[in-house]
């Protein structure tokens, strides 16, 4: 059974389709790009909700920092002294990520601090 609000929404969507308002949208006929492809598909919605609330597991935050640092390294001049600093930072971040994984190789991406922050936010 469709509620009155849902009927209204459905009617407006159909009207917009008839008018062609959805015909030239950005990304039409292109595959969707997922920001977090490394997240399993069954966890993407939960991840997105947590991300929008400002809560990400430390591993995900480190992966983002690693990705940004790799981009900086690719853009840095080969002879630049800055490149060595960027490489050191990248090595540090990768080591930190590996140490987090080594502490709990079979556990999910949730640390105690992260879990406690979520519990606080939800209560």
Tell me the domain boundaries of the chain.
Answer: 57-123
Nearest to 50 by CA among 63, 60, 40: 60
Top-ranked range on mean pLDDT: pick from 28-42, 43-57, 109-123: 43-57
- The helix/strand/coil state of 95 is helix
**In whole numbers, what is the pLDDT of the chain averaged over residues?**
79
- pLDDT on residue 26: 83
pLDDT digits (tens, 9 = 90+) for 51-75: 788 777 778 788 888 889 988 888 8
105 against 75, higher pLDDT: 75
Q: What is the DSSP letter of 111?
A: -
Confidence of residue 36 (pLDDT cuts 50, 70, 90): low
- The helix/strand/coil state of 21 is coil
Query: How many CB atoms are located within 10 Å of the residue 84 CB?
Result: 10
Q: How far apart are CA 31 and CA 50, in angstroms?
A: 24
């Amino acid at each position: 059974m469709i509620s009155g609000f849902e009927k209204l929404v459905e009617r407006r969507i159909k009207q917009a389709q008839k008018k062609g308002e959805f015909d030239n949208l950005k990304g039409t006929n292109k595959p969707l790009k997922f920001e977090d492809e490394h997240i399993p598909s069954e966890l993407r919605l939960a991840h997105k909700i947590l991300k929008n609330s400002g809560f990400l597991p430390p591993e995900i935050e480190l992966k983002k920092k690693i990705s940004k640092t790799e981009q900086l390294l690719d853009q840095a001049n080969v002879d630049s002294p800055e490149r060595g600093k960027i490489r050191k930072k990248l090595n540090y971040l990768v080591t930190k990520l590996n140490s987090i994984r080594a502490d709990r190789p079979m556990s999910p991406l949730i640390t105690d601090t992260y879990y406690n922050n979520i519990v606080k936010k939800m209560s």
